[in-house]
Structures are given as structure tokens and as C-alpha cells.
Amino acid sequence: MAAIEMKNIVKQYGDGFAAVNDVSIDVADGEFVILVGPSGCGKSTLLRMIVGLEDITSGDMIIGGERVNDIAPRDRDLAMVFQNYALYPHLTVYENIAFPLRLAKNFSESEIDEKVRTASATLELDEHLDRKPGNLSGGQRQRVAMGRAIVRDAKAFLFDEPLSNLDAKLRGQMRTEISRLQRRLGITTVYVTHDQTEAMTLGDRVAVLRRGVMEQLATPRELYENPVNLFVAGFIGSPPMNFLPATVEGDMVELPFGRVKIPAEKAARAKGRGLLIAGIRPEHFEDASVMDRATVAEGSTFRAHVDVTEWLGDQQYAYIPFEAPPEVQAQLTQLERDLDGESIRTQLVVSLDSASRVPEGEEIELYVNAAKMHLFDPSTGDNLTVTSPREETSAHSSSTSSSSSGASVAR
């Protein structure tokens, strides 16, 4: 087990394209770090540079205090689970798991047998040991790939989108399994995914990458509540954060649907900047008719025309289209492209209490918890209202108490 330090890692291809640009991440011993981002953001390249399958153009890769830039993969003592598992089809499950041990040459036959059986028991593969990978289901293959990784006491685990080939149900189960295994073994882990659910649930810390650049490295909670810029804000969360054109006057924010009051401190940071982009998560809206009068009176409300609703049982989403001015529209389109998305129209997604009976195509009164609003600079995408972790914690606890039937309950 070892810490992994990445210092100013750059990967540049022959044509000058920088797949990874100046990324520095410290992975502490035993920590679970996620690399997440849309396709082509360089997350897999970074992982392959850690394991040594990809050359490092510049920067230092330090594993367990040793600079490994020029060390071959086999001497780095890392275990990796590939996206397509890369099992050896000509070997049985047993031999697949034993493969790294046989190569190491310093284990006796009985030691190998003991280690393989321990690993297979951990992953419940005992009954499949004599089968070939070709006869296994996707989930079983996945477990064999994990078995091959845990059988040797490697310095760290590396996962390259290990669950992307499984169906949704199995993915959920394996996610929990990986989390449990990592906690039990306490081994340093770097995990690449494009799935933000995996990123949020598995990681101690999450690094969000875009086009080779690291945008933010923080705990999942910090990413969700205090995204540093538009990209992170739009990437983390499902359904994504709503972005609306906004102008700040005093402590009032002018939105397409009306004016809402925001905390004086946030207003001060955004003062005199002209047209901004406001970011509000869907769950910070609520149908005013299902809330108690006192809470509604404290916050802001506005009336809007609901286009479509989606009722999911535990909650429901309502879609409200709006027109964005061209200055903001350009930035939002670019953002959408960065996020691998393709939005046809600008619309507001609001998450409502499932008890609310919103008629489609009618106007309703919506409550918005403006204290949770973020304001972004449209030209740079920076979050102007980002708070330091300490401020954030206090703001969080106060808002939970003030909007009892609002945002926090709807989640």
C-alpha cells in the first residue's frame, strides 16, 4: 500500500494535443479517489500513466515515495481492472487469478493455492474456479477481474470504468461491493468513471476533469454544494443544475421568471457585474401549494408555465421552457457540448414533492430557495458565490431548518 502523488502531469501527443495538462493530485495511502469527466477528458489516459501503460510527457509520478516515470508497468506493483476485464480466455478462472502470482515466481504452489482460494472466497467465485471466462456472465467476469487484482498485495488498485459494461441493477450491486472491498482492504484506489453516481458514492475525493485539465478536486459533498465553476456545477448532479440568465441589483436577482432575494453576502460578491448566469439545483424549487404558508413567505415565489411533468413515485420533475439572451446562450451551448449533452431548448427542471398535483400546460406558483443559488461569471464560468467549507457548513445547517418542507425534504 502506498500513496500516489501526481505532480504537474502532462501528456502530449505527437501532434501537440495535450490529453492531460498539468494535473496534480495527491492520493493519500488508503484513499479512494475518483477521476471523473465526460468522454475525452483525459481521465483514462491519466490512469494509464499511473500504471505505466502510457508515457508521461512531463511531470512526476510518485508511488510510495519513489518516482516511477521510467519504471515498467510490471515493476510498479499496481493492480488494475480493465473496462473490458481483459481476462485470459485460454485459462480457467483459477489460473486467471493465479496468473500474477505465478509470474512473481516467489510463491510456492501451496501459497498460490491458498491466496487464490482466499480471493475467490471473498468474491464468491468458488464454484466457478474451473470454468473458462467465456462461460461466465458479465458480473462473474467482473469479479474474476477483481480477483486477479486483489490476489496479490499490490500497492494500489486502479479501476478503468469497471462497471460500464454491466446492466443497471448489477452495476449498483457491484458498486457497493467495490466500496465494501476497498474499505475492508484499506488499499489506495484510483477509479475512473464517467458515471457521476459512481463518483459521488464511491470516492473519498473526486477529481473532475475537462479536456485534460483538472477543474476541481474535492469531496463529493463539496463538489455538489460548492462547484467552482459552471462545468463542475453542470456535471455533478442529476438532473443537472439549472442555469438561468440573471442580473443582480442590490440583494435582488432578476431571473426570467421574476425577482428573487438572495443573501446580502452573495449579492455583494456579484455586485456590478452585469449579466450573470444563476445556477439553481432542481431540488431547490418547490410547488408553493404543498408547502406551509410561513416557509413560503420567507423565501421567494414566482409563477411559471409548466410544459411537461414526470412523476417517478418518490418525486416528480416539471419542465419549464424559457428564452435565454444570446450572450448567455452561447456559453450554455458550449457547456452543453463539454458535458456530452445535446439540449434542444433552454428549460428549467424543477423537482417537486411527489404529492404535488401539477397540471401540465398550466401556470403554477413555484417557491425557490434562493439562498442556495450560485452565480457564475458568463465569460469565465467561475462561481462568484463559492463559499469556503466552513461558511458552507453553517449555511447548510441553517437552510435545513428554515425550509423544512422545501428542498431538503424533497431530496
Partner 1 sequence: MRTKVGQGIGLVLILLWCLFPVAWIFSLSFKSVEEAAAGSPQFLPKDPTLDTYREVLANDDFQRALINSFGISLIATTLSVILATLAAYAIARLDFTGKRVVLSIALAIAMFPVVSLVGPLFDQWRVLGLFDTWPGLIIPYMSFTLPLAIWTLSAFFREIPWEMEQAAQVDGATAWQAFRKVIVPLAAPGVFTAAILTFFFAWNDFVFGISLTSTTDARPVPAQLAFFVGPDQFNAPTSTLAAASMMVTVPIIIIVLLFQRKIVAGLTSGAVKG
On whether the CB atoms of residues 157 and 79 are closer than 8 A, the answer is yes
Choice between 175 and 284, CB closer to partner 1: 175
Residues between 292 and 311 that touch partner 1 (CB under 8 A): none
Pairing status of strand 58-63 against strand 213-218: unpaired
Q: How far is CA 207 from CA 174, 196, 218, 263, in A?
A: 22, 11, 7, 30
CB of 18 to partner 1, least distance (A): 21
Smallest separation, CB 328 to partner 1 (Å):
42
For residues 218 and 375, is the Cβ–Cβ distance under 8 A?
Answer: no
Indicate whether 170 belongs to the interface with partner 1 (CB under 8 A): no
Distances in Å between the Cα of 81 and the Cα atoms of 1, 86, 106 are 17, 8, 23
Phi, psi of 290 (to 5 degrees): -100, 5
Q: How far is the CB of 52 from partner 1 (least distance, A)?
A: 8
CA dihedral 49, 52, 57, 62 (to 10 degrees): 80
Q: How far is the CB of 105 from partner 1 (least distance, A)?
A: 9
The mark string for 67-106 relative to partner 1 (x by CB under 8 A, - otherwise) is: -----xxx---xxx-xxxxxxxxx--------xx--xx--
Q: Does 165 bind partner 1 (CB under 8 A)?
A: yes
Q: Which is nearer to partner 1, 138 or 239 (CB)?
A: 138
- Nearer to partner 1 by Cβ, of 16 and 134: the residue is 134
Beta strand segments in 112-232, E = 156-160, 188-193, 205-210, 213-218
Backbone angles phi, psi at 117, to 5 degrees: -70, -35
In the complex, minimum distance from the CB of residue 230 to partner 1, in angstroms, rounded to a whole number: 35
Site size with partner 1, rule: CB under 8 A: 32
Binding mask 125-144 for partner 1 (x = CB under 8 A): -------xxxxx-x--x---
CA-nearest of 229, 223, 271, 263 to 246 is 271
Residue 378: count other Cβ atoms within 10 Å of its Cβ: 22
**Please, which residue, 148 or 374, has the CB nearer to partner 1?**
148
Taking residues 21 to 60 in sequence order and writing x for each that binds partner 1 by CB under 8 A, - otherwise, the string is ------------------------------xxx-------
Cα separations in angstroms, 405 against 278, 348, 354:
23, 21, 12
Q: State the minimum distance, in angstroms, from the CB of residue 62 to partner 1.
A: 18
Give the span between the Cα atoms of 91 and 134, in whole angstroms.
10
Nearer to partner 1, 74 or 303 (CB): 74
What CA–CA distance (Å, rounded) separates 118 from 94? 11
Q: Which is nearer to partner 1, 101 or 318 (CB)?
A: 101
CB of 115 to partner 1, least distance (A): 14
- Of 148 and 281, the one with the shorter C-beta distance to partner 1 is 148
Nearest approach in angstroms of CB 204 to partner 1 is 23
Q: Are 324 and 346 in contact (CB under 8 A)?
A: yes
Segment 141-160, which members bind partner 1 (CB under 8 A)? 141, 148, 152
Nearer to partner 1, 18 or 71 (CB): 71
Q: Which helix (H) or strand (E) holds 228?
A: none
Contact indicator for 143, 74 with CB cutoff of 8 Å: no
Closest distance of CB 51 from partner 1, Å: 6
Inter-residue contact 234 to 240 (CB < 8 Å)? yes
- Residue 89 or 272 having the CB closest to partner 1: 89
Check residue 162 for interaction with partner 1 (CB under 8 A): no
Footprint (CB under 8 A) of partner 1, residues 226-285:
none
Please give the residue ranges that form the binding site for partner 1 (CB under 8 A): 51-53, 72-74, 78-80, 82-90, 99-100, 103-104, 132-136, 138, 141, 148, 152, 165
